[in-house]
DNA sequence: GCAACATTTCGGTGGGCGCCGAACTGTCCC
DNA sequence: GGGACAGTTCGGCGCCCACCGAAATGTTGC
């Protein structure tokens, strides 16, 4: 009874088109100001402010004020997971324009899911890591000695990550591929590394990623992933 | 843009307390009539009928009419997953009565999640199966020869399940334990076996399960799970 | 055919909520 | 200090939607 109320109150937050648009925008894992969110949702600043307040109250986002700006970001990986899962429901959407189709295709090819890699790129990297015995699935996801070396070579500060409260390794079911990709703090670190090395680039202010030629070569060399497996449909 | 609309439309369906109560009730995986759902949600039959129609339109439930009855059930495991995930959000709920606390404790100990085992029981069974090398995690969840024998001995028709379109093995993150339990058609078959052997019993018309003394002995013998690990907190 | 029952459809009502414009607070920069 | 700007608060408007009661549709069993 009272349980239904809490479920409904959370679902209700995402049940409004403006708030849904905001949360989708925030899926890139970044911090957005209220004004920018207002624009993303096509509403006025006043409405956006109220929406953000409700999302904060519901625990879906957190805010941080810096001077006259207020930065909004998703409250954590679990929220991102929820938004991703929900956005995969409903009719696959009629896709009314060619531009919309292209955008969706790009999204399926490579994107961020909160703060880690997703789409075909994310799944390919995950599968390659497992296939090359850098990750193991014995009783939960684990890192092999070989995997430790690989990540260390890449410049990932493993001890630093392990000191965090957040889980190092987690699987996240990919929205479009329906098979797991790598999440957790290590997934986040890997994604960051891809971005700083210019292996992938964000397309504008979205969570769509573009794999650079440099990146194609890198994943081919390091993981044996053929560029054709990543090509935009 | 248009993507936000589809997300919102789905979330909106679960954003109403009555519909949320209905979906929570349906989490037991069974088929409920419209009248019974009306009672579960504390609304009139007219309102319940409209809610069911909307849930059908949104693809969250399916219906089957038999004579003057209309049976409603969740549209599939993914919907159950979504409802479970959502119900784990929000404030852990103030739990206003002792009865509510007891119910929640029982729910955490053992319950069904759509059509398979969840809660501490579900996780314990999953972990025992992995620990005893009946399930393996090498490149996706798999069944070892030893596991095949074990399930066959239990009376599960493995070839029959494998002929289905539905995945045999899947992991489902447990709502209360935050660690995976066994889902998929094999998870469903296992749950059914537990019920027909009277190892677990449904508590009334809920998804809460009660482990019988017979069941405690069975999981101890077959899987080495100590009864203390299943005791109601 | 008739009575009992499950479900649906149809007005009608009330409340909640999303939106805006305008006024207000607080911050930054010149 | 003054102007520009980000964000919030406050009325107020309008719409959507959840609900109910009553009537209609279908089904079952006599």
pLDDT along chain A (233 residues), means of 10: 86 97 94 96 97 97 96 94 87 70 89 94 94 80 92 94 89 84 94 96 90 95 87 69
pLDDT, residue B140, reads: 65
In this complex, which of B20, B91, B179 lies closest to A11 when CB atoms are compared? B20
CA distance A39 to A41: 5
Q: How do residues B77-88 score in pLDDT, each as one tens digit?
A: 889 989 998 988
Distance A27 CA to C24 C1' (A): 33
Q: Which residue has the higher pLDDT, B139 or B123?
A: B123
Chain A interface mutation, best of B1, B6, B9, B11, highest count of A Cβ atoms under 10 Å: B11
CB contact under 8 A, A15 and B20: no
CB contact under 8 A, A87 and B11: no
CB contact under 8 A, A15 and B14: yes
Q: How do residues A22-46 score in pLDDT, each as one tens digit?
A: 999 999 999 999 999 999 999 999 9
CA distance A16 to A130: 39
Chain B interface mutation, best of A1, A2, A5, A8, highest count of B Cβ atoms under 10 Å: A8
CB contact under 8 A, B2 and A59: no
CA distance B233 to B139: 35
B51 touches strand D (CB under 7 A): yes
Query: Which chain A residues are within 8 Å of B86, Cβ to Cβ?
Result: 7, 10-11, 82
pLDDT, residue A139, reads: 54
Chain A residue nearest residue B84, CA to CA: A7
In this complex, which of A17, A59, A89 lies closest to B4 when CB atoms are compared? A17
End-to-end Cα, chain A, rounded Å: 46
- The per-residue b/e assignment along B105-138, b for 16 or more CB within 10 angstroms, e otherwise, is ebbbbbbbbbbbbbbbbbbbbbbbbbeeebbbbe
A144 touches strand D (CB under 7 A): no
The pLDDT of residue B95 is above 70 = no
Mean predicted confidence (pLDDT) in B159-167 = 89
pLDDT, residue A23, reads: 97
Lowest mean pLDDT of B19-28, B118-127, B220-229, name the range: B220-229
The pLDDT of residue B225 is above 80 = yes
Q: Which helix (H) or strand (E) holds B173?
A: strand B170-173
User: Nearest-CA distance from A122 to chain B in Å?
Assistant: 15
The pLDDT of residue B226 is above 60 = yes
CA distance B123 to B119: 6
The pLDDT of residue B229 is above 70 = yes
The pLDDT of residue B92 is above 80 = no
A69 touches strand D (CB under 7 A): yes
Distance A76 CA to C16 C1' (A): 30
Q: How do residues B167-206 score in pLDDT, each as one tens digit?
A: 899 888 888 888 889 999 999 999 999 999 999 999 888 8
CB contact under 8 A, B14 and A6: no
pLDDT, residue B142, reads: 85
Average pLDDT, chain A: 91
CB neighbour list of residue A105: distance below 8 Å, 6 or more residues apart: A232, A233
């Amino acid at each position: 009874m009272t349980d239904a109320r809490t479920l409904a109150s959370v679902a209700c937050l995402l049940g409004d088109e403006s708030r849904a648009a905001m949360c989708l925008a925030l899926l890139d894992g970044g911090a957005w100001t209220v004004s920018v969110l207002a624009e993303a949702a096509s509403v006025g600043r006043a409405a956006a402010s109220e929406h953000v307040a409700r999302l904060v109250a519901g625990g879906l986002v957190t805010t941080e004020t810096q001077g006259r700006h207020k930065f909004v970001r998703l409250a954590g990986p679990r929220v991102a997971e929820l938004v991703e899962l929900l956005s995969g429901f409903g009719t696959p959407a009629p896709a009314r324009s060619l531009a919309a189709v292209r955008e969706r295709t790009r999204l399926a090819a490579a994107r961020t899911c909160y703060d880690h890699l997703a789409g075909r790129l994310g799944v390919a990297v995950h599968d390659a890591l497992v296939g090359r015995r850098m990750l193991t699935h014995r009783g939960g996801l684990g890192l092999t000695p070989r995997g430790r070396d690989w990540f260390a070579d890449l410049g990932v500060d493993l001890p630093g990550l392990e000191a965090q409260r957040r889980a190092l390794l987690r699987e996240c079911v990919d929205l479009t591929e329906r098979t797991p990709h790598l999440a957790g703090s290590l997934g986040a670190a890997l994604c960051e590394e891809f971005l700083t090395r210019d292996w992938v680039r964000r397309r504008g202010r979205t969570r769509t990623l573009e794999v650079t030629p440099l990146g194609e070569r890198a994943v081919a060399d390091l993981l044996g992933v053929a560029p054709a497996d990543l090509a935009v449909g």
